[in-house]
Amino acid sequence: MSGQDPNIAGMPGRYAMALFELASDSGALETVEADLGLFGTMLDDSDDLRRLVDSPVFTAEEQTRAITALLEKSDIGPLTAKFVGLVAQNRRLFAISDMIRAFRSLLATHRGEVTAEVTSAEALSDNQTDALKESLKAAVGSNVQVQTQIDASLLGGLIVKVGSRMVDSSLRTKLQSLKIAMKEVG
């Protein structure tokens, strides 16, 4: 399976596969998915947590203690908490975002879904997201999970990545193309 999807390759893929198998065997795939989403949100929202995860300055013991204390105060279930604790203990916390991404990819494959990464200049409304899902479903031929990101530097439009395919209809890219074309003319 890891040969098919670059998201589940290497060390993060092996950890994600182990977690996926444990969650599948215990019937907790949706719970672990929600827990990993919550932990990912905590990482995105806290510069201090991001620093703890990314910095090689902290020892495995310091990272494990801090992560354990954080997880005890959160709504993260025991299976996911043990997993994140093990990752910290093994000094692999720097790759937790890749592990989360790989787990989501495995889960999407298990469900027969395709994941689309959509970057927009502004947050998409629920109606826009639903319309985008329907359009992508018609183009791809299977259910599509949409992961959205916001990048204000796009100015407008979207960048959509599905597997190895990418469509960049952002205003930033169009302006760059126009700038290059203008240099060639004059």
Half-sphere exposure of 24 (CA within 13 A, CB side): 12
Where in the sequence is the domain holding 128, given as residue range(s)? 113-185
Beta bridge partners of 131: none
Asked if 175 contacts 129 with a C-beta cutoff of 8 angstroms, the reply is no
Task: Among 108, 133, 160, give the residue marking a domain's end.
Answer: 108
Could you give the 3-state DSSP secondary structure of residue 115?
strand
Residues 98 and 16 in one domain: yes
Q: What residue type is assigned to position 142 of the chain? A: S
Q: Any idea what the Cα angle at residue 164 is, between residues 159 and 168, rounded to 5°?
A: 20
Looking at 91, 108, 125, which one is the last position of a domain? Answer: 108
In angstroms, rounded to a whole number, what is the distance separating the alpha carbons of residues 24 and 39? 19
Under 8 Å between Cβ of 1 and 7 = no
Instruction: Give the residue among 120, 90, 100 at the shortest CA–CA distance from 40.
Output: 100
Cβ-Cβ contacts under 8 Å for 153 (sequence gap 6 or more) = 121, 172
For the chain, what percent of residues have pLDDT higher than 70?
95
**For residue 125, with 0-12 CB atoms within 10 Å meaning exposed, 13-18 middle and 19 or more buried, which class applies?**
exposed
* 5 pLDDT higher than 70: no
In this prediction, residues 88-96 reach a mean pLDDT of: 94
Q: 101 Cβ partners below 8 Å, 6+ apart?
A: 7, 12
Supply the mean pLDDT for the chain. Answer: 89
C-beta of residue 101 within 8 angstroms of C-beta of residue 111: no
Residues 124 and 100 grouped into a single domain: no
- Structural domain count of the chain: 2
Question: Are residues 117 and 103 part of one domain?
Answer: no
Query: What does the pLDDT look like over 50-60, one tens digit per residue?
Result: 999 999 899 99
Query: Average pLDDT for residues 148-166, to the nearest whole number?
Result: 88
Judge if 94 and 125 occupy the same domain. Answer: no
Q: 82, 108, 134: which is the final residue of a domain?
A: 108
Residues 118 and 154 in one domain: yes
